[in-house]
Structure 1
Amino acid sequence: MARKALESQPFSRLLGARLSAFGDGAATLEIDIREDLHQQNGYVHGGVLSYAADNALTFAAGSVLGPAILTGGLSIQYVRPAAGRTLLARAEVVRAGRRQAVVRCDVLTVADDGTEALCAVAQGTVLPIHTS
């Protein structure tokens, strides 16, 4: 069901995002790094990193809060330029209650030899939405 939700997002399809892990308060989102995702200096654009963190933390929260949720806020710190073969966003719920979940996310790149490098750290809050 989570993969189907991701595939229903046009922007996620545009980026080629995939959900490689989901459940028990955690989620991992993967994106193959392509030239068209780079900024002018040859690194993955910060907007792509932010998207990956946002979606990964929302899916992690969704595994405990349910599917009717939205990101309430997100902060991200870029710690290294992102370059490699694959972008990974690994998110984990820090604390979940009835009204919100606080989630942290590490955004990493994977090189051709499989080594991982941390390039951003994010934290966000996810809120359940109630439709009337």
Structure 2
Amino acid sequence: MDNARNKRLLESFERSEIMKHFGAEASIISDGYFEITVSKQNFMVRPAGMFNGSTIATLVDISSGYAAASATRQNSYFTTVELKINYLNPALGDKLIARAQVIKNGKRLSVVRSDVFSIQVKGEALVATSLVTLMQLQNRNNETQID
């Protein structure tokens, strides 16, 4: 991925109000791959101490959109068509990492796999896996949104 494209994706990510609210960081950006890290905050946690499923779903959706955007050279953005999540284990720990990888990058539709890991004392634990289908929309009005 060229530096200009990487910069535009990062700038878009930094404008995201929900990612600001989450205190999220874009950890790794490359062609067809996007990684987001968040630290635990009170609003993200269930009474039992694990991350809330809605936090995980949000990370899946956002990481998948940016992974799809990183796989195309066009000035376009993406909208989610379908999102399927399997919650595999309780999301215990102090951080979550969402790792999204494009599986199929078509002309209109992209399919992305996003895995979410919790960072625990004993290491990483896979807490959710997902499959997300996104539709590419043309940026006809020079909107600043990429994802």
For normalisation by structure 1, the TM-score amounts to 0.92
User: Deviations along 1:33-84, whole A, 9 cap, x unmatched?
Assistant: 1233101221100000000111111111111134421222111010011011
Distance, in Å, in 1 between the alignment partners of 2:81 and 2:37 is 22
Say yes or no: does 1:128 pair with 2:128.
no
Any runs of at least 4 consecutive aligned residues in structure 1 with deviations exceeding 6 A, and if so which?
none
Give percent identity, aligned residues only: 27
Out of 6, 11, 31, the residue aligned to residue 18 of structure 2 is 11
Once residues 10 and 25 of structure 2 are traced to their aligned partners in structure 1, the CA distance between those partners, rounded to angstroms, is 7
* TM-score for both structures, normalised by structure 2: 0.83
**Is the 1:26–1:60 Cα contact (8 Å) retained in structure 2?**
yes
Give the unaligned 5+ runs of structure 1: none
> Which residue is equivalent to 1:44?
51
Q: Return the index of the structure with the highest Cα Rg.
A: 2
Give the 3-state SS of the residue equivalent to 2:71 in structure 1.
helix
Decide which of 98, 102, 110 is 2:119's aligned counterpart: 110
Match of 1:117, SS state, is: strand
Is the contact made by 1:3 and 1:18 (CA closer than 8 Å) also made in structure 2?
no
Q: Who is 2:31 aligned against?
A: 24
The gaps in structure 2 that reach 5 residues or longer are 1-7, 142-147
Match in the other structure for 2:4: none
After superposition, the CA RMSD in angstroms is 1.4
Instruction: Please state whether the residue corresponding to 1:129 is helix, strand or coil.
Output: strand
Measure, in 2, the Cα distance between the counterparts of 1:47 and 1:19: 19
Distance 2:46 2:114 in 1: 22
